[in-house]
Chain A
């Protein structure tokens, strides 16, 4: 197999390094958002009969439609700007982290420069599109 030489990674602050850091920091941010939402669910007195799915529903998308069938007495508490912002933050971190990760994996197996550049553009477009419909769903539910 013939591989094209590529420029060696630069040292210091540059895009790939920043994304490396972002991957780690967004992972921490997702942990904090998930813990905050689970604590909130417990404070809203969801203490009995919770399932794994309920836990996931609160943790990763604290949004009235998404938690509607979980063991929460009052769905009203999840409405409002605060949980919308929390949902959008989760969407932002998960989307950017996940799609950058996908790109990372693809680039491990693809070395042709134009294909890599094409994929970077494509993944960016997918990210913008998924974020747009995701925010739409959050704000309309």
Chain B
């Protein structure tokens, strides 16, 4: 049960999981995005500490300091953190699972304004202040 996975990609995409399914996908993308960023970041800071790696470090730095990357990574971090808190709370206090839909609404209410403001700031900076 649950261990047999012969669902094809198209079939998977057609699955209508609605709100909770969307948060699951975004949480996954967000987590992977942060792993990518953190790994690059640690590597870059290590390399730019070494005489032999300075230029490689600066090159990697330039990637994630780009404002387009920042739009992506801030989405990942903020969504993953807020949605993650919901998962932790509902998982550790399972009686609350009844309010999952409300919790997801609440989550978007917190996420959208913060991300919206950050987006304006990042884009303004990216387009030259």
Contacting residues, chain A, for B77 (C-beta < 8 A)? 56
Contact status B3-A6, CB under 8 Å = yes
* Total number of B residues with any Cβ neighbor in A under 8 Å: 31
**How many angstroms from the CA of A135 to the CA of B34 in the assembled complex?**
19
**How many angstroms from the CA of A39 to the CA of B17 in the assembled complex?**
39
Nearest neighbor of A132 in chain B, beta-carbon distance: B46
Q: Is the interface of B mostly helix, strand, loop or mixed?
A: helix
Q: Is the interface of A mostly helix, strand, loop or mixed?
A: helix
Contact status B42-A27, CB under 8 Å = no
Smallest Cβ distance from B41 to chain A, in angstroms? Answer: 9
**How many angstroms from the CA of A141 to the CA of B84 in the assembled complex?**
31
**How many angstroms from the CA of A51 to the CA of B1 in the assembled complex?**
49
Interfacial residues, chain A to chain B (CB-CB below 8 A): 1, 3, 5-6, 8, 24, 27-28, 31, 51-53, 56, 65-66, 94-95, 98-99, 101-102, 105, 111, 130, 133-134, 136-137, 140-141
